[in-house]
Amino acid sequence: MPAVPGIEAEVRQWRTDEAVGGQVQVTVTDTGAEPFTVTAVAIDSAGFAPLPDRQVDVAFTPGRTFDLPTQYGAAVCDRAAEPAAVRLTVVRPDGRSEQLLVPLAAEVLTRIHAEACAVQAVLAVVDVTVTGLALDGEAAVGSVVLTRAGDDDRPVEVARLGGNVLYDATADVPATLAAGESRLELPVEFTVASCDPHVLAEIKQPYVFPMAVRVGDDDQVPVDLPLDPPQREVLAALVDRVCG
């Protein structure tokens, strides 16, 4: 993909982007001698489903760099994430508008793509759900359920379950959905790890609980517990009960 004179771009991802989900920063630099304004931005990569351009209004001058928050689509796992580009709509000083395809330094997209496709591969073998979540004293209890999703009969091991700075999550792991079995149910308990006001105010991902899952002899893959809005409300009510 040919370079675009006067414009360079790369992809970065900060912790705040991970908290938002599905977002990166496209870092654009005016490397030329003239100003320009970017009015739309989108990622162009065969490894991700295309999304509509995001409308922006960012004025660049020579030497200036700005981060443009940009969403990426669902991973397309039979395609590579790179090479990648960013599609920019640029308005020149004379008012002329043009759409440019600027090559991206996109190692971050390759990492995101690999992680997402590893999760897709696990979920092609087992569905993961959380059921029966309810308050029980100073805890919320329920079950993590793995249900075999297809014809792949390899054993599936839940190696560990992690909490975060606000909640501890405990389950009797490691545990295995053995070959020939269709369902594994693991009781799970959530408790409040901290009532510190700073933690309560600043936590970015309170409902992310990574579970390490291994299919057969494959590497472990971190799969987040899928908590729906009512289940998140249960956990929020737990914080109110314990810390209120």
Question: Strands 183-192 and 167-171, how do they pair?
Answer: antiparallel
Q: Give mean pLDDT, residues 144-164.
A: 95
Give the start-to-end residue ranges of the domains of the chain. Answer: 7-118, 126-243
pLDDT tens column, 168-187:
999 999 999 999 899 999 99
Pairing type for strands 139-148 and 84-91 reads unpaired
Quick check: helix, strand or coil at residue 179? coil
Tokens encoding 139: 């805890």
**Nearest one of 31, 32, 36, 53 to 95, comparing CA atoms:** 36
The residues pairing with 168 across neighbouring beta strands, listed in sequence order, are: 191
- Indicate if 126-243 has the same CATH topology as 7-118: yes
For the domain made up of 126-243, give the CATH fold. Immunoglobulin-like (2.60.40)
The model's pTM: 0.86
83-117 pLDDT, tens digit each: 999 999 999 999 999 999 999 988 999 999 999 99
Hey, what are 101's tokens? 């395809």
User: Which fold, 7-118?
Assistant: Immunoglobulin-like (2.60.40)
Alpha-carbon span 206 to 193, nearest angstrom: 11
